[in-house]
Structure 1
């Protein structure tokens, strides 16, 4: 029986790879070398590619021809959440921040009133190919930091405020897409790629 990525795998291939994903694949490659499926040279080559990979699909290609028991678990590195409930983030007379390794749901509703919030998507895992953050900022603000290569579609409105969200100048077609909607009333919503 051939080891081929399943249709479900291909649905996840566009998602950004995390350090945890890379560690899992590194373990699979190590086992493949110990069982004689990979020579030391092949193992080194794949390990180099592992740390250059940006998406789950690129990681899956490194193990698709290996017969390793852990491969099915490693191939499904990121699974869509079973719940489609939106994520609600609120900052009233205060602040909140999302950063590090966190899951960006299909829809995030953000409300800032006399407060501020910051979303750093640099190391985030995305629930879908296209995610949406809907921001309402009233006398408050929100800042969004996106990874290099991510496409951003800004559909917000600023009234006595600003709504200025930008993605990468050269988006990666395999990267997730971020849609930012909402309203900035006497407030501001800004976003730009991390340099």
Structure 2
């Protein structure tokens, strides 16, 4: 599973390149998560492919990411059949049909109840901002499908233990300079990290009392997809027990 993925080095001159959209990256990461649950990929390979997806600019750069995976009915029964159908279609078409990936994104982010529907309609993206200051989100709060973290000479603390997620994949984008970000994630959430450290550091650790391994998470485990850049600072992701 550790073999290098073949990424196209050039394109036919008569075929214009198509830029990948953030929703399409989300759908790709979700598809990789399904393959991880099904045993087709290990955790290291999933992280590697997710990093490629998150840093890609054009669709042809991510074509190999799903091409060798099987999205058949042997995948977890808890998975939305519509998502499997769309991912299979996208795989067969070599990810050239933008509509297929967009449809997968729409299918996987359908709100679970009316409360989340109202929240999704009101605000699909929230932010934590700390410039020469601090920002903290903890306790019961609603997390949109995308949460942006910005900061300079400050610190951000995000606690997801009592938070309610708007969908199965929550993307947290970080842009921090000369500061720190601390994120507490319940142990029953899957973590995919592709943050680029520039004279900084990124770590994922298990807090005291954590007993559930990332490799043992159930197929329907929520996904926390971490992206962005840390410059002259540190990002700490700590897995914490569910009931603490």
Instruction: Look up the match of 1:79.
Output: 116
What is the rounded CA distance, in whole Å, between the counterparts of 1:100 and 1:128 in structure 2?
A: 18
**Shift of residue 78 of structure 1?**
4.7
Q: Does 1:150 align with 2:223?
A: no
What is the rounded CA distance, in whole Å, between the counterparts of 1:77 and 1:83 in structure 2?
A: 12
Instruction: Indicate how the Cα distance of structure 1 residues 94 and 132 shifts in structure 2: closer, same or farther if over 3 A, else same.
Output: same
> In structure 2, which of residues 107, 110, 132 is the aligned counterpart of residue 93 of structure 1?
132
> In structure 1, which of residues 167, 189, 192 is the aligned counterpart of residue 235 of structure 2?
189
Structure-to-structure mapping, 1:36-47, within 5 angstroms: none
Count residues with an aligned counterpart.
Answer: 122
What's the Cα RMSD here? 2.2
Instruction: Look up the match of 1:12.
Output: none
Q: Does 1:136 align with 2:138?
A: no
Structure-to-structure mapping, 1:108-123, within 5 angstroms: 108-123=147-162
Give CA-to-partner distance per residue, 1:139-174, whole Å, 9 cap, x none.
001011001111010010101101224685232322
Write out the 4+ residue segments of structure 1 that deviate beyond 3 Å after TM superposition: 75-78, 165-168
Which protein is bigger by CA-based radius of gyration? 1
Give the unaligned 5+ runs of structure 1: 1-56, 58-74
Q: Per the alignment, in what secondary structure is the counterpart of residue 173 of structure 1?
A: coil
State the TM-score, normalizing by the size of structure 1. 0.57
Give CA-to-partner distance per residue, 1:88-132, whole Å, 9 cap, x none.
221011111111110111111101210001110001100011010
Give CA-to-partner distance per residue, 1:17-58, whole Å, 9 cap, x none.
xxxxxxxxxxxxxxxxxxxxxxxxxxxxxxxxxxxxxxxx9x
Instruction: Look up the match of 2:203.
Output: 164
- Larger % of helix: which? 2
